[in-house]
Amino acid sequence: NAGVTQTPKFQVLKTGQSMTLQCAQDMNHNSMYWYRQDPGMGLRLIYYSASEGTTDKGEVPNGYNVSRLNKREFSLRLESAAPSQTSVYFCASSVVQGGPDTQYFGPGTRLTVL
């Protein structure tokens, strides 16, 4: 049981390049989330998927797109990377949307855009 996995762990892009961050969970969770964490700040929600087949914008969606490929996988795409997107990206998943069930986080992807 690997939990939440993310690839890659590190990435350096040039301005204007595109890339896709991959996330997969093996806990049969319904909901999945993408966050970004900037230095000295908390996590901010980019996009989320409450269930397979649905996606919605979070607090900071501009410059990103997502795909909920199936129940296990939720990818985040940067179509034209900008230096402002330099950040650590976390994927998370949760089984239910209430009670003590928390979100489980992946290890993060550290992205630098030059």
Partner 1 sequence: AQKITQTQPGMFVQEKEAVTLDCTYDTSDPSYGLFWYKQPSSGEMIFLIYQGSYDQQNATEGRYSLNFQKARKSANLVISASQLGDSAMYFCAMREDGSSNTGKLIFGQGTTLQVKP
Q: Which of 28, 42, 53, 62 binds partner 1 (CB under 8 A)?
A: 42
Q: What angle do CA 4, 24, 98 make, to 5 degrees?
A: 60
- Determine if 99 is a binding residue for partner 1 (CB under 8 A): yes
- Determine if 34 is a binding residue for partner 1 (CB under 8 A): no
- Determine if 19 is a binding residue for partner 1 (CB under 8 A): no
Would you tell me how many other CB atoms lie within 10 Å of the CB of residue 105?
16
Return the beta strands (E) in the chain as ranges.
Answer: 4-7, 10-13, 19-25, 31-37, 43-49, 56-57, 64-68, 74-78, 87-94, 104-105, 109-113
Given the structure tokens 């996009």, which residue do they identify? 47
- Determine if 88 is a binding residue for partner 1 (CB under 8 A): yes
- Determine if 104 is a binding residue for partner 1 (CB under 8 A): yes
- Determine if 90 is a binding residue for partner 1 (CB under 8 A): yes
Kindly state the smallest distance separating residue 35's Cβ from partner 1, in Å. Answer: 8
Name the residues that contact partner 1, by CB under 8 A. Answer: 31, 33, 35, 40-45, 48, 50, 56, 58, 88, 90, 92, 94, 96-100, 102-105, 107-108, 110
